[in-house]
């Protein structure tokens, strides 16, 4: 069972109380961008096995969006943080690197 702590209200919620929103930190290109950029934004996902950053909504709670870092293979949760960020917090990156020395963040 996946349990995430909502950073908005502080409640630890199991996945049945949450709604998955897909990959976090996607680059959305503006008007005039190429078809390739738009296609990449819509469809191209790495389907990562390991450390992954995701969007979640606390659907059965406060209703707000937040972001989470977890391992897709082990379900280990490294942390959650505000959806109002463009990159994961530095302390979370450091925490993940401490547990996964071979891992590096790429946006
Ligand atoms: Zn909440």
* 18 CA to centre of ligand 1 in angstroms: 9
| Ligand 1 ion: nearby residues, β-carbon < 5 Å | 6, 8-9, 58, 61-62
* 103 CA to centre of ligand 1 in angstroms: 29
| DSSP letter, residue 87 | S
CA angle (47, 69, 55) in 5-degree steps: 70
Please give the pLDDT value at position 1.
87
CB 92 within 8 A of CB 78: yes
- Higher pLDDT pick, 67 / 31: 67
* 78 CA to centre of ligand 1 in angstroms: 18
Please give the pLDDT value at position 107.
64
* 87 CA to centre of ligand 1 in angstroms: 20
Strand order in the sheet with 51-57: 19-23, 51-57, 65-71, 77-82
**Domains, the chain, ranges and CATH?**
9-25+49-107 (3.30.2270.10)
């Amino acid at each position: 069972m996946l349990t995430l702590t909502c950073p908005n209200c502080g409640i630890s919620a199991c996945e049945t109380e949450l709604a998955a929103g897909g990959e976090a930190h996607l680059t959305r290109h503006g008007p005039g961008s190429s078809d390739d950029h738009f296609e990449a934004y819509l469809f191209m996902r790495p389907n990562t096995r390991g450390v992954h950053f995701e969007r979640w909504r606390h659907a059965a709670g406060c209703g707000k969006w937040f972001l989470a870092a977890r391992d897709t293979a082990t379900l280990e949760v490294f942390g959650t943080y505000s959806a109002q960020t463009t990159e994961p917090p530095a302390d979370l990156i450091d925490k993940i690197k401490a547990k996964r020395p071979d891992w590096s963040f790429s946006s």
